[in-house]
Chain A
Amino acid sequence: MTTETLPQNKKASNQRQMITGIVLLAIGLLMFVLFARGTQPGQEAKFGMNLSNNAETIPIPDLILPVQPSLYALIAITIFLGGWQLARGIRSTGLLIGIVAFSFVAAFLIWATKDQSFNLVGMLSSSLVRATPIALAALCGVISERAAVVNIGIEGTMLLAAEAAVVFATVTNNLWVGLLTAILTGGLIAAIHAILVIRFRVDQIVSGVAINIFGTGTTSFLSSRFLEKNIDALNNSGTFQIIPLPLLSKIPIIGPIFFQNNIIVYLMIILVVIIHILLFYTPWGLRTRAVGEHPKAADTLGINVYFMRYVNVIIGGMIAGLGGAYFTIGSVGRFDQDMTAGKGFIGLAAMIFGKWNPIGAFSSSLIFGFADSLQVKMQILGVNIPSEFLQMAPYIVTIIVLTGIVGRAIPPAADGTPYEKQ
């Protein structure tokens, strides 16, 4: 059997190598046609490397790139990699795709900025901020699905948490109370989801859909019934201040991006690290993964499958609740109907793109946050690409990743299936 399948696999991987190589060459050509062709020698692109009005960081000079040589260099890298892939094959597909994607985006930015100036650090910093709710939603997904419970009700959960946060923060005049309420709300909604799918064995997707409809309905109902009429009493909380971390915030480029944020962004980064460690280096993580991959075996070894699932889903919900808090007390200080605008679903996409791995989910959230931030900045640069297409990118990328053409995303084996103790 194995002797038969092996050559086939090799053939398939050869074929895949060919396809990837050709695609890379095509991308290189595309970069030439789209970006390099219309440029003139002597054009320059100016990238701002400091946040405006930022006394915290040590200022550094702006990055001024000659447009044409930079573009040709990036195209050369892409074509070289494509050719190398065709001829010899490159082991690490991830690295390959990473470099090419970087070249493409860099070429695009240089092309879009020609004869203009553009604050690069500002955009990267806003990418991280925009990635925060996506990453938190994705972490919620990772932690539940590693225990084999699918939660597509993240969107509804975040909406409910967002509204709870702003109302409690306004009423008590204390943002921390709001934050706590959001986390508890998220935990509560997730607990309901957990009881429905684990105890009552309701279909996990159905329960998630119900939570989304219920969450949208409840928040909009309360918003138009109470919040819109009593803005100052109920819906005006203020937001968490930006806390520059001492010393770290002084570092050029990295400082303004990572170390001058509000508490929710910091919490998100800390959570990514903690959950990664918990999931892969502790007994709890091993049990969680066992429950997600092979619940029956886990049960045989004395792991309480139901308990593990409850705990994971509820913790996940609390993280989603934190993500909800970002929308109100973490960014604008008030609640608007449907303000999550699909971030819960993009979080789901980030989770898949990140292969059910906390760090991976965080990285893909950054990419999606970058796309989000880019489409805003593009309007400023006056680039003639409809912003809707950039907004579509995360969804299209997810579909492509799921098909397995570019790196296969494999979910936990028991994901989405209820467990019945025998």
Chain B
Amino acid sequence: MTNKEINKAAEKAKPEQEEKHGKTGFVDNMVVPVLAVVTGLIIGGIVIAITNDTAVAAWGNFFQNPGAAFKASWDAVLTGYGALFSGSLGKPADMIAGIQNYFATGDSKLILKAFYPITESLVTATPYIFAGLAVALGFKGGLFNIGAEGQFYIGALASAYVGYSIVGLPWFVHLPLAILAGAVAGGIWGAIPGYLKAKTGAHEVVNTIMMNWIAFRLSDWLLSGPMKSSGFRPVTPNIEATAELPRFFPDPLRFNWGFPLALAVAALVYWFLFKTTLGFEIRAVGANPDAAKYSGISVVRNIVLVMTLSGALAGLAGAAQVLGTDHWVGQGFSAGYGFDSIALALLGKSNPIGVVLAALLFGVLRSGATSMQSLAGIPIHIISIIQGLVIIFVAAPVIIRGIYRIRIGSSDETVLTRGWGK
């Protein structure tokens, strides 16, 4: 075939291809995120290798013994990621031994120990699901909620307050009340920038950033003053048992009803976004506010609604963390859940199902990182490096396409914000 013919053939094929890309399937949608995570992990592995003392020493002797250099690096990565995944998923052999032991002797100690890592990953994933949904809902409505971190704090503090200050309620009143408090407080914290955006045009990105810092300072003050427990440290008192999200297993397993609740909320958000009129309106405003306006949708109402719901979801993340996992709030309590949730929402392409999957992944990474730090001496912050890279790869699929020489639709360009002012 000559060049001309090839061009012609390509032109013929083009519309077909584009049509296919127009309706990207589930698998197509997964390609970039999965490759982004893989690439992030590979680069993380390189970082582990080049910061490992043994490996670096072996590279120093590269010309005497090149094999040892590669082996030492490989070992470093293997030890690191081995600790990461065994620390977050557990070891199958231990699980089997634990189960056998339980049925043989009735002693639950081993079985609990074997399943501790994986349940702990699910525990970590719980606030991630809520916070990821918060940001994703914002994206769907055309709004960038960077304030999930602050809403998380405010939600957690409100839940904790209801949790410890009210005594003597039955659990079926107290627990829903505590959860609701978190959602309402987070919702208010999100609604303020939403309202300002809708009424005055002040950009939600700046205002949510500012609201974050106000929330941090406010929580510093609350924790060192009005909400401080009687002890020495700046933490709240423990919440009442009636406000706790019940745990499924005995200690030390912290796996609790927060996780199923998160899944249920994810399903609810999915239903709301894709099966209700209001959800359709939100997506319409997100896709094209002008078109939505001229077809009679109230843009103002939708902006406030989206930011309120988004804040409420982030507040729920805080509530779940307090009521299910920690039972108290201290300084530095969030550990960046709200900021990570931006990565989550991008990775999950703002789709509730995608968000849940991404949250599970982040739960695994985050909870495994702790044992990676203690077992392999690799600082926990490697996870942030990997997350930063993953965000860039997901947001710039061109890079991923370039590395792996694959052709995927270019429809997934991310332009989320439309300038500061309007």
Contact = CB atoms under 8 A, between A and B. Distances in A.
Interface string B334-358: 0010011011001000000000000
B387 interface: yes
B375 interface: no
Contacts of A342: 213, 216
A403 interface: yes
Q: Which 7 A-B pairs have the closest CB atoms?
A: A217-B384, A214-B388, A402-B202, A388-B221, A210-B391, A221-B381, A220-B381
Interface in B164-215: 193, 196, 199-203, 205-207, 209-211, 213-214
A388 B210 contact: no
B206 A392 contact: no
Tell which of A145, A200, A222 has the most Cβ of chain B within 10 Å. Answer: A200
Contacts of B207: 399, 402
A252 interface: no
Contact of A218 (B193, B209, B385, B414): B385
Contacts of A211: 388
Contact of A416 (B51, B196, B395, B418): B418
A214 B389 contact: yes
Nearest to A415: B420
Contacts of B218: 388, 392
26 contacts: A150-B417, A200-B396, A200-B399, A203-B414, A205-B144, A205-B417, A210-B388, A213-B340, A216-B384, A217-B381, A217-B388, A225-B379, A349-B206, A386-B221, A395-B210, A395-B211, A395-B213, A396-B214, A398-B206, A398-B210, A399-B207, A402-B202, A403-B199, A403-B202, A414-B419, A416-B419
Grouping DSSP codes into helix (H, G, I), strand (E, B) and loop, the A interface class, with mixed when no group exceeds half, is helix
Given A201-B413, A206-B416, A417-B418, A220 B395 contact: no
A348 B420 contact: no
A213 B384 contact: yes
Interface of A: 145, 150, 152, 196, 200-207, 209-218, 220-222, 224-226, 342, 345-346, 348-349, 352, 386, 388-389, 391-392, 395-396, 398-399, 402-404, 410-411, 413-418
Interface of B: 47, 51, 144, 146, 193, 196, 199-203, 205-207, 209-211, 213-214, 216-218, 220-221, 225, 336, 339-340, 342-343, 346, 378-379, 381-389, 391-392, 395-396, 398-399, 413-421
Contact of A411 (B196, B200, B386, B419): B419
A152 B205 contact: yes
A206 B346 contact: yes
A419 to B, nearest CB: 12
A410 to B, nearest CB: 6
Given A209-B339, A415-B420, 20 more contacts: A203-B395, A203-B416, A205-B144, A205-B146, A207-B395, A209-B146, A209-B343, A210-B389, A210-B391, A216-B384, A217-B385, A218-B381, A218-B388, A221-B381, A349-B206, A352-B206, A388-B220, A395-B214, A416-B420, A417-B419
A152 to B, nearest CB: 7
Contacts of A152: 205, 209
B339 A213 contact: yes
B196 A403 contact: yes
